[in-house]
Structure 1
Amino acid sequence: MKKKHLEILLEQVEGFKSPKPSKEQYATPAPVAAEMLHFALMRGDIADTVYDLGCGGGVLAIGAKLLGAEKVIGFDDDRDALEIARANAKKLGVDVELVCSSINEVCGKAHTVVMNPPFGAQVRGSDRPFLRKALELSSVVYSIHNAGSSEFIKKFISPSVITDYRLIDFPIKRTFMFHTKEVQVIKAEIYRIEKR
C-alpha cells in the first residue's frame, strides 16, 4: 500500500474525546502516522507481531494492521481511549487487540514496537518509561520525539542505537485551554531504534 493511500485511510481514525494534559494525549495526525508506518514497512519491520504503546485512538495499531502485520496489540491505560480505538478498528475493518494496561505492566514480545509517547513537555521524563518498556518488549522500536532529542535518546537507550531517523512536521490541533493557536506545527523526529 502506498503511503498516501494509508494516510487517506487513517484520516478516518477519531482521536481523544476528553484528552488529559498530564498524559499529553495528542492524537497522532494521519500524515505523521503514515510516515512512521511506511518508514517501518520499507525497513521490513511491519511483520509478525507489532505493539503500539500508549495507543490512544489506535491510529498506529490500525495502520500497522492495514500494512499487513500478522498480529497487532495496542496498549493504553485509558479505557475511554481504548473504546475509541475499538470503534476506529471496526470502522476500518481491521482486527487489532486492545489491552488496558499501564506502561510498566505491559508484557510479551513483539517484532516491532511503534509509539508516539508523551514528549515530556507537561511531565518531565514521561517518555522514559515508554522507551525503557519498548526495548524490553522488542528489538526494533519506532518512536516520535521532539526535534533535537537525539543526544538524550542516544544516551538513554545505550547500548541500543538509533539506526535512522526522519525529521517531520507534527501539527497539534488546539486541544487544551493553554493552547493559543488553532494548529501549532512543531518539529519532531521519528527514530528507528535497534536493541543491541
Structure 2
Amino acid sequence: MAGPSRRTLARRLESIVDFSDPAADLEQYLTPAELAAHICHLAGLHDDLDRRVVDLGTGTGMLAIAASLAGARRVAGIDVDAGALDLARRNERTVLNGHGAGSDRTLEWLRGDVTRHPFSTSDATVVSNPPFGAQRGNRHADRDFLETAGEIAAVSYTIHNEGSQSFVESYAADAGGEVTHAFRATFPIAKRFAFHTESEETLEAEVFRIEWE
C-alpha cells in the first residue's frame, strides 16, 4: 500500500515541537519538516521502510516519526539526551494520534550513545541528522554516525553540512558502501543561542543515501 504523499507528510510533521532549551554542544536543532518528509518519502519509494528503521540521534523525533507516518512498521529512535527522548515521546503522541498505524506498528525510544549502540542488526534502514560538527569538540561527529550506520544498516539516509560529498563518498567506499543518491537541501535555523547573530540562518546541507555491504 502506498504511503502518504510527500506534501501530506510535511504538513503532518509541521506540528512537531522544537526544543525549548536546546543544548549547543549536542547541536540540537529541529530537522525541517519538509526535509524529513522528502527523506522518508524517498525511502518509501525505494522500499527501504520495509526494514527496521533506526533514527540515530533522534532529538525531537522528527525523522523517526516521519518514517512511521510514511509506512515503516518498526522504528527506533536513539538519543543520548533523556530530555530529547521525553520531547520525542510527546511529539509522537501529538503527531501520530489518529495518523499512526495501529497495533501492527511499533515506535521505540531508546537512551544511548550511537557509538555504543544496543542494536544487533545489520539490515536496518538508518535515518539520521547527525551533528554537523559546528561546535568545538564536535568535529567529525558525523563520522561516528556514519560508522554506526555502516555497522547496523543495509541502507542509510544522512544529512550533512555543505561540502561533505567527497568525505561521505570516500568514507562509504572505504567501508564497502556506495552513495546511490545525493541532493542539496536548505536547513533554516532559528536564533536559539547567544552566539547566533541573526533571527534565522539558513544552512546549506547535503543528504546522502548509502547502500552498505
Residue 112 (structure 1) aligned to one of 105, 115, 125? 125
How many residue pairs get aligned? The number is: 196
Hey, which bits of structure 1, 4+ residues long, moved more than 6 A? none
Q: Which residue of 2 is the match for residue 139 of structure 1? A: 154
Q: Which residue of 2 is the match for residue 187 of structure 1? A: 204
Any gaps of 5 or more consecutive residues in structure 1?
Answer: none
Residue 32 (structure 1) aligned to one of 35, 43, 56? 35
Q: Which residue of 1 is the match for residue 94 of structure 2? A: 91
Q: CA RMSD in A?
A: 1.2
**Counterparts of 1:144 and 1:8 in 2: how far apart (Å)?**
21
Q: Which residue of 2 is the match for residue 77 of structure 1? A: 80
**Counterparts of 1:141 and 1:167 in 2: how far apart (Å)?**
16
Q: Which residue of 2 is the match for residue 178 of structure 1? A: 195
**Counterparts of 1:165 and 1:111 in 2: how far apart (Å)?**
20
**Counterparts of 1:31 and 1:117 in 2: how far apart (Å)?**
17
TM-score by length of 1: 0.96
Amino acid at match of 2:188: P
Residue 169 (structure 1) aligned to one of 171, 183, 186? 186
**Counterparts of 2:110 and 2:120 in 1: how far apart (Å)?**
12
Amino acid at match of 2:120: G
Percent of residue pairs bearing the same amino acid type: 39
Any gaps of 5 or more consecutive residues in structure 2?
Answer: 101-105
**Counterparts of 1:76 and 1:56 in 2: how far apart (Å)?**
6
Largest Rg, 1 or 2: 2
DSSP 3-state at the match of 1:28: coil
**Counterparts of 2:189 and 2:120 in 1: how far apart (Å)?**
32
**Counterparts of 2:202 and 2:79 in 1: how far apart (Å)?**
25
**Counterparts of 1:162 and 1:173 in 2: how far apart (Å)?**
30
DSSP 3-state at the match of 2:159: strand
